[in-house]
Amino acid sequence: MHQSPQDLRRIEALLDFYIDSGVDCFLGEEVVDWFERSRLQSSQTRHAAAAAPAGPSARRTGDEEASRGPAQDRGQAAFQPPAAAPPARAPHANPGQSAAVPDQEVIAAARDLAASAQSLDALRACLEAFDGCNLKLTAKNLVFADGNPSARVMFVGEAPGRDEDLQGKPFVGRSGQLLDRMLEAIGYDRSSAYIANVVPWRPPGNRTPTPQETEICRPFIARQIALVDPDVLVFLGAASAKTLLGVQDGIRKMRGKWMTYPAGGKEISAIATYHPAYLLRSPLEKRLSWRDFLAIRQSLSKQ
């Protein structure tokens, strides 16, 4: 069918709108309300569980819950993902295969896989092979890390954006360029710092990663931090601090305060500061970030 230039412009505008809204990949003909479906599934599961006698599996669940206690005290598992959630894979993405659900099993698989990695290269290979996170379907590249793995300071952001996805490297867009300038201001650069994200795949349209996606990716970044074993860990923005420390405070309250992050059997000095993307929007806040970066430099010079 012949399309007029006007039609083409309209189609282009519609596609732009879809991309801006986070719709950047075709999944299927029918609209599926996964939230409604997962709500029904979880209510069916609850009914089945209520009808089943309490046997060994019920006890195991109780033990698992109890064993979460100390971890939660350390802020490691404060977020409990819902028992049922939207699918990790679109059902049409893999015709012939049943849809995987990002439930506790996927999270447990991520935890086991991450724990098995004995080096950063092995961890990267684990992520390349891991199919439990739906973000991988729409991302162009895995954005694992940039910088020096032996650095004494490690920065953790939330998730890659478009530029990072294209280059397969964290913080290379506008906010990354600001981060570079901030590093330079305290005498550091990417050869003396290590940079990664909680979520290593770009969420479509740069939307915020869902709690399920974050929870699935969390074991990998936790392992990455343990393997890098920095002297100082810097959370860029509230999202990474909240995910990794389990705290609920906003960034205004949290930033600039020294905390500790448990990794590899020790406590790493940690601090949260504003995300560079926020600083681009609110340049006046750079004054407070500057204080945080000076505190980071001072801490590194003391250790």
Q: Which has the closest alpha carbon to 173: 277, 95, 87?
A: 277
Site for ligand URA in 255-294 (CB under 6 A): 277
157 binds ligand URA (CB under 6 A): yes
Q: Does 204 bind ligand URA (CB under 6 A)?
A: no
- One of 171, 194, 261, 274 touching ligand URA (CB under 6 A): 171
Find the shortest distance in angstroms from Cβ 102 to ligand URA. 21
Least CB distance to ligand URA at residue 289 (A): 15
Question: How far separated are the first and last CA of the chain, in Å rounded?
Answer: 69
Q: Kindly state the smallest distance separating residue 169's Cβ from ligand URA, in Å.
A: 8
Q: Among 38, 148, 175, 243, which residue interacts with ligand URA (rule: CB under 6 A)?
A: 175
- Give the shortest CB-7-to-ligand URA separation in angstroms: 36
Alpha-carbon distance of 144 to 170, in angstroms, equals 7
Distances (CA, A) of 95 to 86, 91, 151: 18, 7, 44
164 lies in the binding site for ligand URA (CB under 6 A) = yes
With b for 16 or more beta-carbon neighbours within 10 A and e for fewer, the 169-187 pattern comes to: bbbbbebbebbbebbeebe
Of 197, 93, 200, 90, which is closest to residue 154 (Cα–Cα)?
A: 197
For residue 27, the minimal CB distance to ligand URA (Å) is 25
Residue 178 lies near ligand URA (rule: CB under 6 A)? no
The reply on whether position 200 binds ligand URA by CB under 6 A is no
Residues 200, 143 contacting (CB under 8 angstroms): yes
For 216-231, the DSSP string reads HHHHHHHHHHHHH--S
Q: What is the closest distance, in whole angstroms, from the C-beta atom of residue 240 to ligand URA in the complex?
A: 7
Sheet (strand 232-236) strand order: 146-147, 194-197, 153-157, 232-236, 266-273, 259-263
Q: Which of the stretches 28-36, 47-55, 125-133, 166-174 binds ligand URA when contact is defined by CB under 6 A?
A: 166-174
User: Binder to ligand URA among 110, 154, 159, 216 (CB under 6 A)?
Assistant: 159
Residue (128 or 267) nearer to ligand URA, CB? 128
Running DSSP on this structure, what letter comes out for residue 164?
Answer: H
d(CA 89, CA 112): 20
Among 90, 123, 132, 158, binds ligand URA (CB under 6 A): 158
Residues that bind ligand URA (CB under 6 A): 157-161, 164, 170-171, 173, 175-176, 197, 277
